[in-house]
Amino acid sequence: MGRGKIEIKRIENATNRQVTYSKRRTGIMKKARELTVLCDAQVAIIMFSSTGNIKGIFDRYQQAIGTSLWVEQQRMGEDLDVLEFDELRGLEQNVDAALKEYHVITTQTETYKKKVKHSYEAYKNLQQELGLREEPAFGFVDNTGGGWDGGAGAGAGAADMYAFRVVPSQPNLHGMAYGGNHDLRLG
Amino acid sequence: MGRGKIEIKRIENATNRQVTYSKRRTGIMKKARELTVLCDAQVAIIMFSSTGNIKGIFDRYQQAIGTSLWVEQQRMGEDLDVLEFDELRGLEQNVDAALKEYHVITTQTETYKKKVKHSYEAYKNLQQELGLREEPAFGFVDNTGGGWDGGAGAGAGAADMYAFRVVPSQPNLHGMAYGGNHDLRLG
DNA sequence: AATCCTATATATAATTT
DNA sequence: TAAATTATATATAGGAT
């Protein structure tokens, strides 16, 4: 897709890798946005690039907490970025941080909202039937508020934004309380 | 990108919409897979198409529970699908179901695993500092098991799979127990 | 290291099978 | 309908700024 054909294997040169990441990320996000519009679909994309420099990360962190750890945009078709890093903690010796980028693209319709609600109920049932026992450590969150309909009657075709972030813990699927074993010792 | 140029707006014809969804989904997944390889990045994509017929959905559901609600693949660069639907529940009148498709593409390195662990710790701290209070309803889950390193020493470059699914609830960020108000009444 | 610039590689809309 | 085929629209690699 360019002047030359490239083999799909890790780009060893860090600069080139970052450039390619940036370009291709843009491309994927564009396509995802198109898909949401064309097919009335919901697409959520989370990308974690393994590159990124500490200065840039720290700058973005400061900017982020300037408002909130959540950086939300309610306009449809916009991207959403949330960043967090380990520099902040300083509890380990690792020097270069993970730059995490969260992107969510979504189209929200009343019809969809209903469907999600139904699936949610169905899923709860399935969990019981299957007796799942995993204790997940991360959480995909719906930040639209307490309920599925957020406010008043809500006009058809209203746009909402779903977002993702890392959360500290979750109960297991049988109602266990928060506070399990999360001693994340390395090696 | 085809015989004719199309305008980026909802495709009204349901058949065409589904065809386009399918084709473009394949395209996006391919690009995401390439990105993970080229840039040593982690990319998670979740797509919810609003179309899909009941028969096909039910077939896929049966296939899914034939093994597990989780359909996992440990090979790197593979996709992951988890499906659930509201036909199963039948608690509402809605006829056509939401077909949900979860796709996760990931490259897992020891370095990355460390970074995630650090970010996780950092995030916990930030949450306390910011006093976040949201009670998310969905969860992005890490299904690699109890800890970050799953087993023994673990060889460098080992591939793990992160997956996403809907979970029934989460505690808030201050340690509240599972079992809050999740009465999802519709409008 | 971002942004612009093309030549080329890919994705895909329309069409055919 | 679904799958293969193409003509065309887009994405992007490599280069210049």
Residue A42 is inside which H or E element, if any? strand A42-49
Q: Is the pLDDT of residue B182 over 80?
A: no
Q: Give the number of A-B residue pairs with CB atoms closer than 8 Å.
A: 342
* Model confidence, pTM: 0.49
Work out the percent of chain B whose per-residue pLDDT is above 90. 5
Who has greater pLDDT, B74 or B173? Answer: B74
Contacts of B77 in chain A (CB under 8 A): none
Q: What pLDDT is attached to residue B43?
A: 67
Residues 6+ apart with CB under 8 A from B153: A187
Euclidean distance between CA atoms A107 and A74, whole angstroms: 11
- 3-state DSSP helix/strand/coil percent for chain A, to nearest 5? 35, 10, 60
Backbone angles phi, psi at A49, to 5 degrees: -85, 145
Q: What pLDDT is attached to residue B46?
A: 59
Q: How far is the CA of B77 from the C1' of D10 (A)?
A: 25
Query: How many of the other CB atoms lie within 10 Å of CB of A148?
Result: 19
Q: Is the pLDDT of residue B6 over 90?
A: yes
Structure tokens at B76: 């790197």
Which of A43, A60, A71 to mutate to probe the B interface, most B CBs <10 Å? A43
Residues A101-145: pLDDT tens digits? 334 444 444 444 444 444 444 444 444 443 333 222 222 222 222
Question: Which nucleotide lies at the shortest CA–C1' distance from A4?
Answer: D13
Structure tokens at A35: 């898909």
Please, which positions of strand C sit below 7 A from a protein CB? 1-3, 6-15
Q: What pLDDT is attached to residue A5?
A: 93
Q: How far is the CA of A50 from the C1' of D9 (A)?
A: 32
